Amino acid sequence: MIAVNLIDRRAGAFNRAQSPAGHDEMFNFKPIDSNMNDEELFQWPEEVLRKLKTLKDYDDYFQKLYKQGIEAMLKAEMGEHLGYPKNDPAGKKSGNSRNGYSGKTLKTNLGEIPLDVPRDRNATFEPIVVPKHQRMSARIEHAILTMYSRGMTVRDIEETIKEIYGVKVSEGSISNITNAVLDSIKEWQQRLLEPIYFVVWMDGIVMKVRQNGKVQNKTIYLIIGLRQDGLKEVLGMWINETESASFWLNVLTDLKARGVQDILIACTDNLAGIRQAIRAAFPQTISQLCIVHQIRNSARYVVWKERKAFMADLKAVYTAINKEMALDALEEFARKWGSKYAYAIRSWRENWEELT
- What is the DSSP code string of 199-267? EEEEEEEEEEEEETTEEEEEEEEEEEEE-TTS-EEEEEEEEESS--HHHHHHHHHHHHHTT--EEEEEE
d(CA 287, CA 356): 10
Please give the distance of CA 127 from its chain centroid, rounded to a whole number: 28
Note the pLDDT of residue 90: 75
Note the pLDDT of residue 256: 94
Mean pLDDT (the chain, rounded): 77
The one-character DSSP state at 284 is: T
**HSE of 97, CA atoms in CB hemisphere, 13 A:** 11
Which stretches of the chain score pLDDT less than 70?
A: 1-61, 109-110, 132-143, 145-146, 148-149, 151-152, 164-171, 207, 209-213
The pTM for the full model equals 0.54
Note the pLDDT of residue 178: 78
Q: What is the DSSP string of 64-78?
A: HHHHHHHHHHHHHHH
The helix/strand/coil state of 296 is: helix
Note the pLDDT of residue 295: 92
CATH 3.20.20.450 fits 194-289, yes or no: no
Note the pLDDT of residue 309: 94
Amino acid occupying residue 143: A
Note the pLDDT of residue 44: 46
* 106 bridge partner residues: 113
Note the pLDDT of residue 65: 77
